[in-house]
């Protein structure tokens, strides 16, 4: 089947394209910004048509000769997004009809029941787009999903980062009352299965289907289950009977990588219960079959995202800052000595030689261990006959994770920190008698305690690391000059 994907460089689209290619489909993409396409591994396997999804002429050209269209345009990046989405829907309905397209598939959002509350503008726009496509002459399937679970999904990244901040902190957690509303999350792999499967439905099927995973949870429970999956302590939740969506959106934007323009509509939609109609799920399963292995439970979907498995892993179209929070600081120096001379000094790190840093600080891991309540200095151990730098070998308060002799040493801190710390030391030649040294400390905090520990240690850590980098490279230069002068 020849399939046009509109919105191919977005979160879902960038994962759907390789899914379709793997199923044997020919894929064309309509891209308003074609320069973004080469960032994707599938770029050289698709036909790219430059154009605007809101332009009837551009859409008609893109639809020419294709069998089906998957519409994944969700503006939500500023004011008047509903107008832009409506224009794109009408352009597709008309362009697909004019070009003889046989099927349209659209991914929208779950809709609330009659709870007496005004429907949020975000969800109202999703419903309107679906209605426009279903009213057109081309058979359409409108899939309505809630929170999509996978790295890079804006709604999942909100859950991830809010949970990381809130869980493992105070024993009680204040949450807005809407956190007790229900939602039915769905794994990104299950969404891709539903989109691809709907392409082959017979022409008489032109309707909407709610889709969701097997778990119906409150937003509070989603955070709690995420925390349990990553090993964070879950505090006792206390509802705050006040809804302040604008204030909440500002707080969420400050604590997560999701842009405020995107956070606002998502937070506004939390005022509703968003649960799939089980009859829809049953009907769609009967038509296209359930996902391989069955519908994915929420905890399993979270684990896939954490492990970076398949479509649940990171991608170039993800929300900036997606994935686990990780901070890093880097010290870099140009060295007037060849790389092998610098490496010879790196090979002496630890033990009786120390870490070329502030006297009394045996190692940065030991320094951080003091903050964590530990002894601060761990002995270096070397089994007899083994070389110093070997993967898996303890090195003071570190363990060697990787060694590339002459160029790289990667260490992981073993101190009981509220997070995971790595020290990445690299050296590369820049000339016959010169080299470049870089020393990067990376820290992935665990819960609120990890964030506070990093911020508290940052001034002293920067001083300790800077002294280490400057001293180590200075020692390398001095030893090399002495070696050259020696007869």
Residue ranges of the chain assigned to CATH 3.30.530.20: 327-485
For residues 296-320, average pLDDT: 91
Residue range 37-56, pLDDT digits in tens: 999 999 999 999 999 999 99
- In this structure, of 49-63, 92-106, 204-218, 410-424, the range with the lowest mean pLDDT score is 410-424
Question: CB neighbours (10 Å) of residue 236?
Answer: 8
143-189 pLDDT, tens digit per residue, is: 999 999 999 998 898 888 888 877 656 655 667 777 888 999 999 99
Name the token pair of 26.
């020919």
Higher-confidence position of 385 and 463: 463
pLDDT of 465 > 50? The answer is yes
- How many Å apart are CA 29 and CA 50, to the nearest integer? 8
Residue 277 in this model has a pLDDT that exceeds 60: yes
User: Which is higher by pLDDT, 168 or 459?
Assistant: 459
pLDDT of 376 over the 60 cut: no
Nearest one of 150, 140, 146, 196 to 16, comparing CA atoms: 196
Average pLDDT over residues 428-437: 96
pLDDT in tens, 105-138: 999 999 997 766 678 888 999 999 999 999 999 9
Burial-class residue 5 by CB neighbours within 10 Å (0-12, 13-18, 19+). buried
CA 141, distance to chain mean position in Å, is 28
Which residues in 68-78 are b (16+ Cβ under 10 Å) and which e?
bbbbbbbbbee
219 contacts 181 by C-beta, under 8 angstroms: yes
**Mean pLDDT value across residues 71-85:** 82
Q: Is pLDDT at 98 greater than 90 in this prediction?
A: yes
User: What proportion of the chain, given as a percentage, has pLDDT over 90?
Assistant: 57
In the predicted structure, residue 375 carries a pLDDT above the cut 50: no
Homologous superfamily of domain range 2-312:
NAD(P)-binding Rossmann-like Domain (3.40.50.720)
pLDDT, greater one: 166 or 442: 442
- pLDDT value of residue 452: 81
Q: Evaluate if residue 16 carries a pLDDT over 60.
A: yes
Q: Residue 439: beta bridge partners? A: 331, 425
- The mean of the pLDDT values for the chain is 86
pLDDT band at residue 464 under the 50/70/90 scheme: confident
Question: Could you give the angle at which helices 339-346 and 447-485 cross, rounded to 10 degrees?
Answer: 120
Which of 24-28, 117-121, 268-272, 410-414 has the highest average model confidence (pLDDT)?
24-28
User: Using one digit for the tens of pLDDT, what is the confidence trace for 196-255?
Assistant: 999 999 999 999 999 999 999 998 899 889 988 988 777 677 666 666 666 666 666 666
User: Looking at residues 335-363, what average pLDDT do you find?
Assistant: 83
**Does 421 have pLDDT greater than 70?**
yes
| CA atoms of 59 and 31, how far apart (whole Å) | 10
Per-residue pLDDT averaged across 442-463, rounded? 84
- For the domain covering 327-485, report its CATH number: 3.30.530.20
């Amino acid at each position: 089947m020849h399939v046009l994907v509109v919105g191919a460089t977005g979160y879902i689209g960038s994962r759907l394209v390789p899914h379709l290619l793997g199923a044997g489909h020919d894929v064309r993409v309509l891209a308003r910004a074609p320069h973004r396409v080469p960032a994707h591994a599938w770029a050289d396997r698709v036909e790219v048509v430059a154009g605007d999804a809101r332009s009837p002429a551009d859409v008609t050209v893109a639809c020419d000769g294709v069998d089906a269209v998957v519409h994944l345009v969700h503006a939500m990046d500023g004011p008047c997004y509903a107008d832009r989405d409506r224009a794109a829907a009408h352009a597709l309905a008309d362009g697909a009809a004019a070009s003889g397209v046989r099927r349209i598939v659209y991914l929208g959002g779950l809709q609330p029941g009659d709870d007496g509350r005004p429907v949020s503008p975000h969800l109202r726009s999703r419903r309107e787009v679906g209605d426009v496509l279903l009213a057109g002459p081309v058979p359409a399937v409108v899939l309505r999903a809630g929170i999509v679970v996978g790295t890079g999904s804006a709604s999942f990244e909100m859950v991830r980062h809010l949970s990381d901040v809130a869980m493992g902190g105070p024993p009680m957690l204040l949450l807005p009352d809407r956190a007790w509303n229900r939602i039915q999350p769905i794994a990104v792999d299950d969404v891709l299965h539903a989109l691809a499967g709907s392409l082959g439905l017979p022409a008489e099927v032109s309707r909407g289907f709610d889709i969701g995973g097997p778990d119906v949870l409150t937003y509070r429970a989603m955070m709690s289950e995420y925390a349990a999956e990553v090993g964070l302590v879950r505090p006792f939740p206390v509802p705050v009977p006040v809804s302040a969506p604008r204030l909440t959106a500002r707080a969420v934007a400050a604590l997560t990588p999701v842009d405020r323009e995107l956070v606002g509509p998502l937070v506004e939609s939390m005022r509703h219960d968003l649960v799939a109609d089980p009859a829809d799920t049953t009907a769609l399963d009967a038509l296209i079959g359930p996902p391989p292995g069955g519908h994915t439970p929420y905890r399993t979907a979270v684990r896939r995202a954490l492990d970076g498995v398949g479509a649940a892993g990171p991608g170039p179209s993800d929300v900036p800052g997606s994935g686990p929070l990780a901070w890093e600081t880097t010290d870099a120096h140009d060295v007037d000595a060849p790389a092998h001379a610098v490496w010879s000094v790196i090979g002496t790190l630890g033990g009786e030689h120390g870490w070329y840093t502030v006297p009394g600080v045996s190692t940065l891991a030991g320094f951080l261990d003091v903050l964590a309540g530990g002894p601060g200095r761990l002995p270096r151990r070397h089994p007899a006959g083994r070389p110093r730098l070997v993967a898996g070998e303890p090195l003071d308060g570190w363990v060697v994770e990787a060694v590339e002799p002459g160029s790289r040493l990667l260490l992981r801190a073993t101190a009981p920190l509220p997070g995971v710390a790595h020290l990445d030391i690299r050296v590369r030649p820049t000339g016959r008698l010169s080299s470049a040294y870089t020393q990067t400390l990376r820290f992935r905090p665990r819960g609120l305690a990890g964030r506070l520990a990093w911020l508290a240690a940052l001034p002293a850590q920067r001083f300790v690391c800077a002294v280490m980098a400057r001293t180590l490279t200075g020692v390398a230069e001095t030893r090399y000059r002495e070696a050259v002068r020696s007869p």
